[in-house]
Every structure is written in C-alpha cells, then in structure tokens.
Amino acid sequence: MLGLPPWERILHRLRHDYALATVAALAGCGALVILPFAVYRFLSGQIVVGVIDVLVALSLLVPTWHALVTGNNRIAFVAMMTLAGIGAVAVSRFLGLAGHFWLFPLVVASYAVVGLRRALVVGFVLIALVLVFGTGIERMPDRLSYAATAALVVILAAISAYQVERQRCALELAAATDALTGVGNRRKMDADLRQAAELAARGSPLPAVLVLDIDHFKSINDRFGHEAGDRVLSEFAQLISHAVRQSDRVYRMGGEEFLVLLPMVDPNGLDVVAEKLRRCIEANLRCAGGAVTCSLGAALHQRGESVDAWVGRADKALYQAKQAGRNQACIATWSPDPRRQFGPERRNASSAQAPPSS
C-alpha cells in the first residue's frame, strides 16, 4: 500500500476502513448542507453566523481529509467533534431557536465519529451547553421541552448505534469464520498471513505456519458418510484450537486441510509444536473406524519472502510427511541469512515408525 499513488491509498482506506468511510460520507453531506446556508447568511448581512457556518463546514472537511491522507483517525475524529460542537453551540447563541436544531444531526453523527460511550457523553454535554449559552428558549417550559426532546434523541440514537454495531460485528465474524468448524476461513487466513509477513519485514519476531491434513479423510466420508466426515472436521478444528496458544490462529484452508499461524515461535521449537499437535490428534480424535491421524508440514517465515513462497514451503513439507507414511510432522528448511536460497525440506524426527492410519 505504501507504494500506491495518493489517490489510490485514499480509495483503499475508504474501502477497508468502515468508520472512516462512514465519517467521510457524513462530513461530505454535512458540508454540502451547511455551505449554502453560509452563502445565504453572507448575502443577508449575517456575517458572524456566515463565518461560523463556514468554520463548521471546514471543521468537518479538514479533519476528514487529514484522516484520509495520514490514516490517523483518532486525532481527526476528536478534532472534528470538538470544533463542530463549538460551532453548534455558537450557532444556537447567535440564531436563537432556529440554531438549536443543528444540535440534533451533530448528536446523531457523533455515534459514528467517537463511538457509543463517548457519543453519549458528547450528546448530554452539548445539550447542557446549549441550555446555558443558547438563546430563544428563555422560558422554563421551553427549556424543559427542548432538554427532554434532545435527551430523547441522544438515547434513541444510542440504541440504534448499538444495534448497528452488533449487526456489523456479527457480519464481520461471519465473513471471517468457517461455518462448519468455527475457525478462521480462507479469506481471514490470507489477510492475517499478509499482515504477519509485513510485520516480520519491519523487524518483528518471525512467525511460522503449520499446514495440517487429515490422513485418509476421503475413506472416512466413503465408509461412514459425510455427516461423520463433518464431525471429524469439527472435532479436529476444536482439538487444534485448544492445543495452541491464545495468540495463535487456526484456519480451514479447504476440505480437510487446515493452517495454524504462530505469530511468534523459536526456530528450534517449531518441531516441538508440530509434534505436540500431531500427538494431540492421534490421542484424541476418533471416528467409527478408529483413531484419526494427521500429517503436518511447518515453515518458519524467512524475512523478505512472499506469503505464497512461505506457505508453499510448508505445503512441500506436508507432502514429505505424506510420502513418508503419514501421521508425521516435517519441518521446511530455514536459514537466518535472508540471502541464502531455500534448500530442500528436511523431515523432523517424529513418530517415524508409526504405521499409516486406515
């Protein structure tokens, strides 16, 4: 992304950053609505209010542009809410009752800009400031009516924002999860592997991948049916998920093949992790035909190599484990020198005499 032209970087952020895209849309719409009023104020001689309208429009557009260019959302969003809130209070001061209405869209928009809890605080603080500094509602019944109406808007907007956030989280989880096993899907795996490789290129600890394949899985489906096969897949995923660390990630690549991402692992300990998982499956996974085993291929990331090359080395190690009789773990050759070409994989000493499962 760093090598992309500025406009492509901005479009990339809008496509992949839900909060930024929402705020950018709100800021653009808000500025388009406010600027005509600013022109009207200038033409009608209301210079002060016209200047305030222009400043409010700029308080929406400038922080949004800053976030689009730099990717720093937090500072931009806080600046936007602070400046727009000051503008709303100022308009309520100079325009009287007509200016109070601008508080409502600002309160609703705050839920997209600063999140649920902060937006609740912002909403009630703005109501209090308008009641103190605003004009046009000097009578107590008018003030109480306005306060009750504004508070209701804050609360109802909070309820709506909460429901939208829950639905968004549920959709994101569904989009990143394999429906049968509950572990990460191929889409999530690809994104996480790219991120791990990028972090490693910047000097973070080296990650590793383990590719696992259930031995003779086709025969399980053929002999006992797809329902039994699905149960084996689901139990396999759960066993692996409980056997790895909390920081590790498990994904279903497709069919009976899974991948485990180890964000940080000692090069000398990778074979220990692989053997631990192999033994976990051998000892705990069963179907009607008896014990179910798996073969593993593991590869530690080499700084500078692509994700395809990294996973490809693990796949080749897996193929070695299959060729050597299955129910084994093989580790791909790795060198701490990034200039060294990758040599052939070597097989890890693990259960070499174990007979292939049937």
Supply the mean pLDDT for the chain: 87
User: How many helices (H) and strands (E) in the chain?
Assistant: 13, 8
pLDDT given for residue 10 in this prediction: 80
pLDDT of 353 above 80: no
Q: Which residue has the higher pLDDT, 336 or 127?
A: 127
pLDDT of 288 above 90: no
Residue ranges, CATH 3.30.70.270, the chain: 186-347
pLDDT range class, residue 62, cuts 50, 70, 90: very high
CATH topology of domain 186-347: Alpha-Beta Plaits (3.30.70)
Average pLDDT, stretch 331-353?
A: 52
User: CA torsion, points 168, 174, 177, 178, in degrees to nearest 10?
Assistant: 180
Tokens of 332: 């791909």
* Helix, strand or coil, per DSSP, at residue 282: helix
pLDDT given for residue 172 in this prediction: 85
Q: Which of 8, 198, 227, 256 is catalytic?
A: 256
C-alpha to C-alpha distance for 302 and 292, rounded to whole angstroms: 32
**Whether 305 is catalytic:** no
pLDDT range class, residue 259, cuts 50, 70, 90: very high
pLDDT of 338 above 70: no
pLDDT given for residue 336 in this prediction: 65
C-alpha to C-alpha distance for 16 and 7, rounded to whole angstroms: 14
